[in-house]
Amino acid sequence: MEEPIDQSDTRLKELGYQQQLRRGLGMWSTFSIGVTTVAPVVGLYAVFSLGSVLAGPAWLWVLLACLVAQLLVAVVYAELASEFPVAGGPYQWVRQLVGPRAAWFTGAIYISAVTAALTTVAYLAAPWVGLLFTGREPHGLTRYVVSVGLLAFALVINASGVKVMRVVVTMGLAAEIVGSVAVGLALLLFFRVHDVSVLFETLGAPASSGLSTTAAVVTTFAVCGWAFVGFDASASVAEETTGAGANVPRAIIRATAAVGAAVVLVAIAVTLATQNLSAVVHGEVPDPVTPTVIGSFGSWSEKPFLAVVVVTFLVCLVSMQAYLGRVTFGLARDNMLPASHALAAVTGRSQVPLTAMAVTSAAASAGLLLGLNDGAIGTMITFGTGGLYITFLLVVTAALFARLTGRWLPAGTLRLGRRGLVINILAFCWIAFETVNIAWPRTTLAPPGAPAWQVWAVVWVFAVLAALAGLYLVIARPHRGAGTEGTS
């Protein structure tokens, strides 16, 4: 049963805030935002080729293991969201559990991470748009222009308000169901050409990539991390969700589980329906998904399939942009950012943080300049994923620290008791490993002949961001301007 709307508002006041955003989302809409941000179609189509090249068909077992591990993180997030249903998600949770200094640092990394992820999704979307409308993939400057155009279009939708966003996200969810579940089941039931035993084979992929089997598996974990991020988007719209204390945690866990099931289903289906797996494994087919789908269903399916994929990418951009805007709004409302007054502004009738969304989208557009190198796909994915995992690590560590020191005794609608501590410890071990794994400099995931600065992109970019965040914290002391000091 959903809790009454006034309970959500009451909890918000207890945490020191007045209701500014419009509550117009139910559990289904909040779940849909989580699904379309994690985006099974976007996640799978981005990593399928890389996973196959690294570990062959057996990469799917790594994908499944990554899903199970990420569900642990989602449960930790859900327990936090049930007690602190406030816009800003991780920033607010760390603020309540540890304090404003740690919260500022987490918030700064979080905004940078989601901006990088928004950049990555826009970059990955451009080829599909080109194939749909011109029959060709855009490259170089053209790809940049298309990507920026998609960000601008998403901003127009988000500026229209939460009701319009809700409709668009629902359309995106329908496209996700068609593009993942329906296509996956059809391929599996009617177009399978390989025995299931092929899923246990590498077909020589590690050796072809110049890696040992262990190195190939570890690298594949780094790639698969991209497929299961974004579930915290449901938490970002907590102040716009009715019955947020109950509905947001449900949305986080259900979105992660639903997306995970869809991604694994389609990955298995496409693998078993691909005629020439050897060509895919040896990198001879840049996009193995589209030829398999169209080759199975027939040429008539090309345009409808491309249209579905473009819709899923666009809605993912809309959801992620909205999510990033709320995160930025959450920090600005506490005077934690430069120009906080402008970034915390809520637009008139639509009651959305339009300035925050516009500024962060402009930053994402600047990041797209890295994509002028057409071989930057591996770097873009690791760059977009790295910052999100750093944020996961900061939040999970803060939650574990607060549990062990007695600073936090979960009192929200979701209380896991001793199980919560065990899950938190397991989530911490996983995230610590995966964060280092994703950031690890690998020439395998960089463009051929990439310079050292590009291979080390995740490390040096986020090291610089962390240094700048720390320097700003010392000089500007933004934590002193926060409206309230969080306590658990």
One DSSP character per residue, 223-291 reads: HHGGGG--TTHHHHTGGGBTTHHHHHHHHHHHHHHHHHHHHHHHHHHHHHH-S-HHHHHTT--S-SHHH
> What whole-number distance in Å separates Cα of residue 422 and Cα of residue 131?
47
Distances (CA, A) of 384 to 170, 282, 298, 402, 461: 25, 25, 34, 28, 11
> What whole-number distance in Å separates Cα of residue 217 and Cα of residue 54?
8
Buried b or exposed e, range 91-119, using 16+ CB within 10 angstroms:
bbbbbbbbbbbbbbbbbbbbbbbbbbbbb
* SS3 annotation, 55-98: HHHHHHHHHHHHHHHHHHHHHHHHHHHHHCCCCCCHHHHHHHHC
Asked if 220 and 442 count as a contact pair (C-beta separation under 8 A), the reply is no
**487 phi, psi to nearest 5 deg:** -135, 145
- How many structural domains does the chain have? 1
* 345, part of any domain: yes
**Type of residue numbered 407:** R
Neighbours of 406 (CB within 10 A): 8
Q: Give the CB-side neighbour count of residue 16, counting CA atoms within 13 A.
A: 13
pLDDT the model gives residue 57? 93
Neighbours of 161 (CB within 10 A): 18
pLDDT the model gives residue 361? 92
* 6, part of any domain: no
> What whole-number distance in Å separates Cα of residue 257 and Cα of residue 259?
6
* 4, part of any domain: no
Asked if 360 and 112 count as a contact pair (C-beta separation under 8 A), the reply is no
* pTM recorded for the entire structure: 0.85
**Type of residue numbered 153:** F
> What whole-number distance in Å separates Cα of residue 252 and Cα of residue 35?
9
> What whole-number distance in Å separates Cα of residue 328 and Cα of residue 112?
10
* 156, part of any domain: yes
> What whole-number distance in Å separates Cα of residue 70 and Cα of residue 128?
28
Neighbours of 274 (CB within 10 A): 28
Structural domain including 227 reads 23-477
* 17, part of any domain: no
* 18, part of any domain: no
Q: What is the crossing angle of helices 213-224 and 377-405, to 10°?
A: 80
* 482, part of any domain: no
pLDDT the model gives residue 62? 94
> What whole-number distance in Å separates Cα of residue 72 and Cα of residue 86?
21
**Type of residue numbered 83:** E
> What whole-number distance in Å separates Cα of residue 151 and Cα of residue 144?
11
Q: Which SS3 state, helix, strand or coil, does residue 322 take?
A: helix
Asked if 383 and 370 count as a contact pair (C-beta separation under 8 A), the reply is yes
pLDDT the model gives residue 194? 92
Asked if 183 and 266 count as a contact pair (C-beta separation under 8 A), the reply is yes
pLDDT the model gives residue 373? 62
Asked if 332 and 344 count as a contact pair (C-beta separation under 8 A), the reply is yes
* 253, part of any domain: yes
In this structure, what token pair is assigned to residue 210? 């110049």
**Type of residue numbered 39:** A
| Domain CATH for 262 | 1.20.1740.10
pLDDT tens sequence for the chain (488 residues): 344 444 666 777 777 677 767 776 777 788 888 777 766 676 677 688 888 889 999 999 999 999 999 999 999 999 999 988 887 788 889 998 998 888 888 888 888 888 888 888 898 889 889 999 998 888 888 988 999 999 999 999 988 887 888 888 888 888 878 778 888 899 999 999 999 999 999 898 888 888 899 999 999 998 888 788 878 888 888 887 888 888 889 999 998 898 888 889 889 999 999 988 888 888 887 778 888 888 888 888 889 888 988 888 898 899 889 888 888 988 888 888 888 888 888 876 767 888 999 999 999 898 888 766 655 555 666 666 788 888 999 999 999 999 999 998 888 888 888 899 999 999 999 999 999 998 888 877 776 677 777 778 778 878 888 888 888 888 877 766 555 433 33
> What whole-number distance in Å separates Cα of residue 327 and Cα of residue 325?
5
pLDDT the model gives residue 5? 45
From 383, 362, 59, 345, select the one nearest 224 (Cα to Cα). 59
From 245, 235, 253, select the one nearest 92 (Cα to Cα). 235
